[in-house]
């Protein structure tokens, strides 16, 4: 049988209204020994608040849902992002529900995930950012739950890292070191907005310095796995090769470092290199200059924005961009004469 406040009141010798105030943290006016006695009895009896009753009373479940894709390339959950979300949830005394949406079933009109068809949370954090199926967006809109998109470019109700500024800053550091032939490298097939934003930031810095950006080192549709190191070798073997390269991510940076080593080029001496990642990047025992994706800050602010959206359900929130931090390594030096 569930433990009730009436049972706690009887055993502790305190009125039921007083027990209710104490268990809800609204009894500062009562004696400290009374509060301690009631809480001790509640623990001894194994009292747990009725979540459904609280939700009805407060109009809130005290829970948010984090939506993820079942496909890794469409949805990532870095440790920094999760820790930021968890930290802000703890500060606000909220709980988290994880929901992974199976992409292959989203075209089935009879399939609606429980998190979207039933009222079990107050709002949605959507960490689903690449090749988003239209059917999924329709389901989310139909749920009418307040939402914040993470790491996706939208007109409103989203939070994302400032990739354009990070691309600009990476190029400026190379320019300040004395480089003029600076290349931007992308090898994956990703269509995520961050590719275009980082490249645009790089181009902007080059033009501000009176230099023409080099064409992006890539191939339509991406470079297949197994050919990427050789592609990097080809770029670095050309007579007019760049003296510095900005890699879209760790995958490209790893291939460049390996290719440079096989050609007898020293990263930092013969070739400067920087990349983007959510943690300082160490490749072949060398720290690489890294623009740090602000995952932790994004997680915290995403929860805060969602709480604002829940409080004002009819008012959209303008898109928020979060600046990158920077971890200096050993990979950016002045070009050799």
Whether residues 170 and 275 share a domain: the answer is yes
Tell which wins on pLDDT, 177 or 135: 177
77 occurs within a structural domain: yes
Q: What's the CATH number where 11 sits?
A: 1.10.260.40
| 253 falls within a domain | yes
| 180 lies in the same domain as 153 | no
Tell whether 328 is covered by a domain.
Answer: no
If one compares 307 and 121, the residue with the highest pLDDT of the two is 307
Residues 6+ positions from 14 with CB-CB distance below 8 Å: 8, 22, 34, 37, 38
Shared domain check, 174 and 129: no
CB 302 within 8 A of CB 317: no
103, 230, 277 from 269: Cα distances, Å: 46, 21, 22
Give the N- to C-terminal CA distance of the chain in Å, as an integer: 83
* DSSP per-residue codes, 165-221: HHHHHHHHHHHHTT---EEEE--S----HHHHHHHHHHHHHHHHTT-PPPPPB--TT
The reported pLDDT for the residue numbered 47 is 64
Phi/psi of residue 320, nearest 5 degrees:
-115, 130
Same-domain pairing of 170 and 276: yes
pLDDT in the model for residue 56? 45
Per-residue pLDDT at 301:
98
Per the structure, the count of domains in the chain is: 3
User: Crossing angle for the helix pair 79-91 and 295-311, nearest 10 degrees?
Assistant: 40
Please indicate, yes or no, if residue 309 is contained in any of the structural domains. Answer: yes
Q: 118 and 203, same structural domain?
A: no
Considering the domain boundaries, does residue 55 fall inside one?
no
* Average pLDDT value for the chain: 86
Lowest mean pLDDT among 41-45, 189-193, 269-273: 41-45
Lowest mean pLDDT among 44-58, 81-95, 175-189, 263-277: 44-58
Which residues make Cβ contacts (< 8 Å) with residue 155, sequence separation at least 6?
A: 319
Q: Is residue 218 domain-shared with residue 265, that is, in the same domain?
A: yes
Q: Are residues 136 and 202 in the same domain?
A: no
Percent of the chain with pLDDT over 90: 50
% of the chain with per-residue pLDDT over 70? 89
- What phi and psi, each to the nearest 5 degrees, are found at residue 92? -95, 5
Domain annotation covers residue 213: yes
Domain that holds residue 9: 5-49
Regarding whether 91 and 210 lie in a shared domain, the answer is no
Q: Which pLDDT tens digit goes with each residue over 72-122?
A: 777 888 999 999 999 999 999 888 988 887 777 666 666 666 666 665 788
d(CA 200, CA 89): 35
* CATH code (residue 250): 3.40.50.2300
Asked whether residue 167 falls in the same domain as residue 280, the answer is yes
User: 12-69, pLDDT tens digit by residue?
Assistant: 887 887 777 776 666 677 777 877 887 787 778 776 655 545 544 555 668 888 988 8
Looking at the structure, do residues 36 and 148 belong to the same domain, yes or no? no
Residues 126 and 220 reside in one and the same domain: no
**Would residue 58 count as lying in a domain?**
no
Q: Output 285 or 129, whichever has higher pLDDT.
A: 285
Residue 337 lies in a domain: no
Whats the size of the chain, residue-wise?
A: 337
Q: Is pLDDT above 60 for 208?
A: yes
Same domain (yes/no): 137, 167 = no
């Amino acid at each position: 049988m569930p433990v009730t406040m009436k049972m706690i009141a009887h055993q502790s010798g305190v009125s039921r209204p007083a027990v209710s105030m104490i268990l809800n943290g609204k009894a500062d006016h009562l004696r400290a020994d009374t509060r301690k006695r009631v809480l001790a009895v509640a623990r001894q009896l194994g009292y747990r608040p009725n979540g459904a009753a609280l939700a009805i009373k407060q109009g809130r479940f005290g829970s948010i849902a984090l939506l993820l894709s079942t496909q890794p390339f469409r949805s990532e959950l870095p440790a920094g992002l999760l820790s930021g979300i968890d930290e802000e949830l703890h500060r606000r005394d909220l709980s988290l529900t994880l929901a992974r949406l199976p992409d292959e079933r989203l075209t089935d009109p009879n399939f609606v995930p429980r998190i979207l068809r039933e009222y079990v949370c107050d709002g949605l954090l959507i960490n689903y950012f690449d090749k988003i199926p239209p059917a999924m967006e329709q389901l989310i809109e139909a749920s009418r739950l307040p939402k914040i998109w993470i790491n996706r470019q939208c007109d409103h109700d989203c939070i994302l890292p400032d990739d354009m500024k990070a691309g600009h800053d990476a190029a400026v550091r190379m320019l300040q070191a004395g480089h003029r032939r600076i290349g931007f490298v992308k090898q994956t097939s990703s269509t995520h907005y961050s590719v275009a934003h980082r490249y645009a930031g790089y181009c902007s810095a080059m033009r501000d310095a009176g230099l023409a950006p080099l064409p992006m080192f890539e191939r339509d549709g991406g470079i297949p796995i197994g050919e990427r190191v050789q592609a990097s070798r080809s770029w670095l073997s050309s007579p007019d090769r760049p003296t510095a390269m900005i890699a879209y991510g760790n995958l490209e940076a790893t291939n460049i470092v390996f290719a440079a080593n096989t050609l007898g080029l020293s990263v930092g001496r013969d070739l400067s290199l920087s990349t983007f990642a959510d943690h300082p990047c160490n490749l072949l025992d060398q720290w690489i200059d890294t623009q740090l994706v602000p995952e932790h800050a994004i997680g915290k602010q995403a929860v805060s924005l969602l709480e604002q959206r829940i409080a004002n359900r009819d008012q959209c929130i303008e898109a928020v961009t979060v600046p990158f931090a920077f971890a200096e390594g050993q990979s950016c030096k002045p070009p050799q004469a």
